[in-house]
Structure 1
Amino acid sequence: MIQNSSQFNLSTENIILTISVTVQQLKMVIIQMLVAIFLCVNCFMLFTFFKKEVFRTTTRYILFAHTLLNDSVLLLLTDLVALQVYLNILIPVEFCILLCMIMEVLSRTTRFVITAMCLERYVAICLPLRHADISTLRRTLAGILFIWALSSLYVIIDLFIFSATAPPSYYAEETFCRYEILLLTEWHTYMRAILSNLDFVVIGIILVFCYIKITIAARAASGDNKKSSSKAQKTLLLHTMQLLLCLIEMLCPFVEIVVLEIDFQIFVSVRYFHFIAFTLASRCLNPLVYGLRDEFFFATLKYFACFRLKKTVSPHFVYT
């Protein structure tokens, strides 16, 4: 009787373990499918961007293409880290540092470029007579370089602090790749949190300012101008949602650290949820904002999607 009971318990445990493994495998398959779809869509949009000169010389489309490329690389690297966690592969800290730094720079760059997009919409709607002078190709490229320099500055500061506080033996320790491995002291963690929160406060102020100004312009406008202003309002709301998801994504690692100390399987599930709900979701909004809502870009997209069987896309388009 006791032997039968033991065999039953053992069989039950094996079934539960098998189900758990199957669920984890299914989750990873879903992630890989979503990542593959996202990358294919982004690559096709980038292909469309490079096929039209008007896209390559217009500020809003340049920023859009930059974000597509930036998000694609970041998503690819994040997916590699997700695979590392799923396969339970620990890597020495010294090999994780560069990967974590690149991911952090890309993440910060996304937030700053989204803010630049909002400012571009503000200039286009509220300062239409100065838009052509302000949104030049040269200034756009200079702005992108400044964003990259600013994003890199945060990471360089963290690297200097890490180099000064990390013992030589720490570099050989094996871990999962995440940016928090660079934050060895409590004050450094607080400093990073304060700087990140300060970023979001400044970005939030800029978004509110742009939204109020565009709302005022929309109420005073009429006809096509009113339609453009209304679309610009919706664009800013979508950008706000993107930034909120980015903020939550930034806070996720702190939750994951606590969960990892409790149970590894729960940690994997939490990371899976964070990846789908925040990392993927925030980056899927950008193609929606400009790739599908923009009439001219969407028409060009359909033209190439139909293997150029449609009529030539008109070069005249309206900013939305």
Structure 2
Amino acid sequence: HSINLLSNTSGLQDDSLLGIVLFSIVTMLPCCVFLYVNGIMLFTLRSKAVFCETARYILLYNLLFAETVQLILSQVLFLLAADRVIMTYPLCGFLTQLANFTTTISPLTLVVMSVERYVAVCYPLRHADIVTVRNTDVAIILIWMFSFLNVLIQLLLLLELPFDNLLNVQVKGMCSSMSMFAGPISEAYNRAFTCFVFTSAGVTVISSYVGVAAAARSACADKGSAHKARNTLLLHLVQLGLSLSSTIYVPLLMTLSTIVTRVMFARIHNVVYLLIFIVPRCLSPLIYGLRDQSIRPVLMFNLCCRLRLSFVIVKSEVSSSA
């Protein structure tokens, strides 16, 4: 399926450099801000030994790293489509499969994080023996291997394509995972895999929430810890929903392009992209950082110090040039 979703939008743009810049800057500015925040958060999670030796912080780092890579890749693909850059199938395939690889990591990491919270509340005496750094590292390795296996299967399904002059074949329209489907088998596999991953993740997170809620009602449970774990699992469920929403991005744009005007489509396209791809990649990890009493002071210190340092550097450069 070769889908030119930006045909309506491209008709609105002037061929000049100014038109391209104005179209791209709407998403580029918030993306740069969120990348800065995510970078500080990643640095924070590696700045102290306690963060590197605690399972939930290791899992949070893995989640944040995957979502930061997703943010970069989605912005690159969006700018390439907005600037109407024509790509060959190998280049488009590399970018989309790398995006699929990191997209699968997020819900699977949320599953492990939910199970960790369930064990912490329901089996507090065994938590230290079950949720170790070694077991956490093994879980992360399995997540990455499972994600890589999905990419490998999708690449094998591309063997349906004729390989004559494949390096020179150009993708018609926007480069996305849908444009790389070689046929009905690839499309059916992608739908089945997405349904399996998100259904399994949803069932696991909901089951963990029910287990924690039941444990909170028991007399021997730590009420404060159980209440905090319930809120964390609700956040996991919201994150899972946000990750799932990214899978309907292309079909949603296809539907909108047929029922709204070109001007309205261009505006809706930017808003949908911001809400589905950019905001969730920063909002949820930032909430984690602000909620956690161990991360919050270190995160705020790093954010404030680096902003202050940037201001001092800019001020000194202005003074020296004057």
- Same fold by TM-score greater than 0.5: yes
Q: Is 278-287 or 144-153 further displaced after alignment?
A: 278-287
Pick aligned residue for 2:61 from 60, 65, 71: 65
Pick aligned residue for 1:213 from 190, 211, 214: 211
Superposition map of 1:95-134 within 5 A: 95-134=91-130
Within 2, Cα distance between the matches of 1:17 and 1:109?
Answer: 36
Give the C-alpha shift of residue 131 in structure 1: 0.9
Pick aligned residue for 1:249 from 219, 235, 246: 246
- Which amino acid is the alignment partner of residue 187 of structure 1? I
Instruction: Please report the RMSD computed on the Cα atoms of aligned residues, expressed in angstroms.
Output: 2.8
Is the Cα–Cα contact under 8 Å of residues 260 and 266 in structure 1 kept in the other structure?
no
Is the Cα–Cα contact under 8 Å of residues 205 and 233 in structure 2 kept in the other structure?
yes
Is the Cα–Cα contact under 8 Å of residues 125 and 217 in structure 1 kept in the other structure?
yes
Partner residue in 1 for 2:31 = 35
Assess, with a 3 A threshold, how the Cα gap between structure 1 residues 54 and 87 changes in structure 2: closer, same or farther: same
Partner residue in 2 for 1:178 = 176
- Which amino acid is the alignment partner of residue 206 of structure 1? T
Q: Is 275-284 or 145-154 further displaced after alignment?
A: 275-284
Higher RCO structure (Cα 8 Å, ≥6 apart): 2
Assess, with a 3 A threshold, how the Cα gap between structure 1 residues 252 and 166 changes in structure 2: closer, same or farther: farther
Assess, with a 3 A threshold, how the Cα gap between structure 1 residues 305 and 77 changes in structure 2: closer, same or farther: closer
Give the C-alpha shift of residue 196 in structure 1: 0.9
Is the Cα–Cα contact under 8 Å of residues 238 and 285 in structure 1 kept in the other structure?
no
Within 2, Cα distance between the matches of 1:280 and 1:221?
Answer: 43
- Which amino acid is the alignment partner of residue 301 of structure 1? L
Within 1, Cα distance between the matches of 2:296 and 2:113?
Answer: 18
Superposition map of 1:113-262 within 5 A: 113-169=109-165, 171-175=167-171, 176-220=174-218, 225-257=222-254
Q: Is 64-73 or 168-177 further displaced after alignment?
A: 168-177
Assess, with a 3 A threshold, how the Cα gap between structure 1 residues 183 and 226 changes in structure 2: closer, same or farther: same
- Which amino acid is the alignment partner of residue 300 of structure 2? K
Gaps of 5+ in 1: 1-15, 309-320
Partner residue in 2 for 1:56 = 52
SS at match of 2:182: coil
SS at match of 1:295: coil
Q: Is 184-193 or 210-219 further displaced after alignment?
A: 184-193
**1:230-277 superposed Cα distances (whole Å, 9 cap, x missing partner):** 111111111111111211211212334566799987765554233211
Within 2, Cα distance between the matches of 1:81 and 1:95?
Answer: 11
Within 2, Cα distance between the matches of 1:268 and 1:202?
Answer: 35
Within 1, Cα distance between the matches of 2:167 and 2:266?
Answer: 24
The number of equivalent residue pairs is 290
Give the C-alpha shift of residue 63 in structure 1: 0.8
Partner residue in 1 for 2:278 = 280
- Which amino acid is the alignment partner of residue 124 of structure 1? A
**Quick one: percent identity of the two aligned structures?**
29
Give the C-alpha shift of residue 165 in structure 1: 3.3
Gaps of 5+ in 2: 1-11, 307-322
Partner residue in 2 for 1:314 = none
Q: Is 214-223 or 199-208 further displaced after alignment?
A: 214-223
Q: Is 53-62 or 133-142 further displaced after alignment?
A: 133-142
Partner residue in 1 for 2:309 = none
- Which amino acid is the alignment partner of residue 62 of structure 1? I
Within 1, Cα distance between the matches of 2:233 and 2:41?
Answer: 21
Is residue 2:285 matched to residue 1:299? no
Is the Cα–Cα contact under 8 Å of residues 37 and 282 in structure 2 kept in the other structure?
no
Partner residue in 1 for 2:5 = none
Larger Rg computed on CA atoms: 1
Is the Cα–Cα contact under 8 Å of residues 206 and 237 in structure 2 kept in the other structure?
no
Assess, with a 3 A threshold, how the Cα gap between structure 1 residues 192 and 307 changes in structure 2: closer, same or farther: closer
